């Protein structure tokens, strides 16, 4: 029984290890035999449009309202009169810049951008379009994954907008809800600003952008089966992308701030 169990676990681990190895091979292969620049340029522009510009709306919407909620929650929980009211602005700024905009938004993007990437590449796999590319002598990983990765390097701009709107949303909630005055909120937002927090935050965002482009691509590219499996692959891809983002967030935070 125990032997059987150990065997099962080992087998499971082997698939994980194999997949991790395959993922890194994919990254390496992605840079080989590049597609003609004239073609690649078009692909990158299209992916910028699909992945980054197409996500601005939802990022803006979520940031603004979550910023507002963070402010309200903080304001409602500060009941001790000894704590200054401007702390509300300070707390909003810190949570939006450090965690909400880079990490929380990226998890949502793992759902939006990630499932889009997995299902579009997965559909190309099941309808033999990837085989068609390979048969033509095209490096399909470079053709499909590289432009998405490059396009996602603009994702930090979306996050910057998210940070700004989050703080703005907090301000709106604060002032309209009558929790603190505008002056207090602004004082809080400007208080003790540490430039390194921005560096940390954008560094994270770049790493997440890379993960958001490559892990969903991996799940789409190496999927097997038919249309039904495309749906399953999107779900698995969302789970793994989120898990990796959360783990890397922990590791990077510990390394850079801890």
Partner 1 sequence: MIEVKGLHKSFGDAHILKGIDTFFEKGKTSLVIGQSGSGKTVFIKCLLGLFSYEKGTISYDGKIFSELSEDQKRDLRAEIGMVFQGSALFDSMTIQENVMFPLQMFTKMSKSEMEDRADFVLKRVNLDDAHYKMPSEASGGMQKRVAIARAIVNNPKYLFCDEPNSGLDPKTAIVIDNLIQEITDEYNIVTVINSHDMNSVMEIGEKIVFLQYGLKEWEGSKDTIFKTDNKAVTDFVYSSELFKKVRKMYLEEKQ
| 187 near partner 1, rule: CB under 8 A | no
- Total length of the chain: 258
Name 207's Cβ contacts closer than 8 Å, sequence gap at least 6.
Answer: 248, 252
**Which one of 130-138, 158-166, 193-201, 245-253 is the stretch in contact with partner 1 (CB under 8 A)?**
130-138
Contact 190, 84 (CB under 8 A): no
The reply to whether 25 sits near partner 1 by the rule CB under 8 A is no
User: Closer to partner 1 at the Cβ: 77 or 127?
Assistant: 127
Nearer to partner 1, 110 or 121 (CB): 121
* Smaller CB separation from partner 1, 105 or 139: 139
146 near 31, Cβ under 8 Å? yes
Q: Where are the alpha helices (DSSP H) in the chain?
A: 2-30, 37-47, 54-77, 87-95, 105-126, 129-135, 140-152, 155-177, 182-190, 195-221, 227-256
Closest CB to partner 1 among 14 and 32? 32
- What does the DSSP 8-state code read for residue 150? H
Stretch that binds partner 1, among 15-23, 27-35, 70-78, 227-235 (CB under 8 A): 27-35
User: Per CB under 8 A, does 142 bind partner 1?
Assistant: no
Site string for partner 1, 97-126 (x = CB under 8 A): --------------------------xx--
Comparing CB distances to partner 1, the nearer of 97 and 233 is 233
Pick the binder of partner 1 from 27, 69, 129, 256 (CB under 8 A): 129
Closest by Cα among 214, 247, 43 to 117? 214
Q: Which residues touch 112 (CB under 8 Å, ≥6 apart)?
A: 55, 58
User: What's the CA gap between 163 and 93, in Å, rounded?
Assistant: 8
Residues 227 and 240: their CA atoms lie apart, in Å, by: 20
CA distance 143 to 31: 10
Binding span for partner 1 by CB under 8 A among 18-26, 78-86, 87-95, 131-139: 131-139
Task: Enter the tokens of residue 240.
Answer: 């793994």
- Shortest spacing between CB 171 and partner 1, in angstroms: 42
Choose, by CB under 8 A, the member of 1, 3, 82, 136 that binds partner 1. Answer: 136
* Residue from the set 49, 131, 183, 194 that interacts with partner 1 by CB under 8 A: 131
How far is the CA of 201 from the CAs of 99, 172, 191, in angstroms? 8, 24, 18
CB of 132 to partner 1, least distance (A): 4
- Map the footprint of partner 1 across residues 31-90, applying CB under 8 A: 32-33, 35-36, 38-39
Q: Which residues bind partner 1 (CB under 8 A)?
A: 32-33, 35-36, 38-39, 123-124, 127-129, 131-132, 134-139
């Amino acid at each position: 029984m125990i032997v059987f169990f150990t065997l099962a676990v080992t087998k499971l681990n082997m698939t994980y290890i194999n997949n991790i190895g395959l993922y890194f091979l994919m990254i390496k292969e992605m840079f080989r035999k590049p597609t003609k620049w004239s073609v690649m340029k078009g692909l990158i522009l299209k992916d910028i449009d699909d992945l980054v510009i197409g996500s601005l709306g939802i990022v803006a919407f979520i940031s603004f309202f979550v910023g507002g909620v963070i402010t309200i929650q903080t304001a409602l929980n500060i009941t001790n009169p000894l704590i200054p009211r401007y702390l509300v602005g300070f707390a909003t700024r810190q949570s939006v810049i450090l965690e909400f905009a880079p990490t929380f938004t990226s998890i949502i993007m793992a759902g939006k951008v990630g499932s889009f990437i997995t299902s579009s590449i997965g559909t190309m796999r099941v309808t033999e379009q990837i085989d068609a590319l390979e048969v033509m002598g095209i490096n399909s990983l470079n053709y499909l994954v590289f432009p998405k990765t490059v396009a996602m390097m603009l994702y930090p701009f979306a996050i910057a907008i998210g940070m700004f709107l989050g703080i703005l949303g907090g301000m709106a909630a604060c002032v309209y809800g009558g929790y603190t005055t505008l002056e207090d909120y602004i004082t809080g937002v400007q208080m003790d600003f540490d430039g390194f927090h921005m560096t940390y935050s954008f560094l994270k965002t770049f790493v997440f952008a890379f993960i958001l482009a490559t892990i969903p691509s991996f799940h789409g590219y190496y999927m097997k089966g038919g249309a039904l499996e495309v749906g399953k692959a999107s779900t698995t891809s969302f789970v793994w992308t989120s898990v990796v983002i959360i783990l890397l967030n922990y590791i990077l935070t510990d390394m850079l701030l801890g």
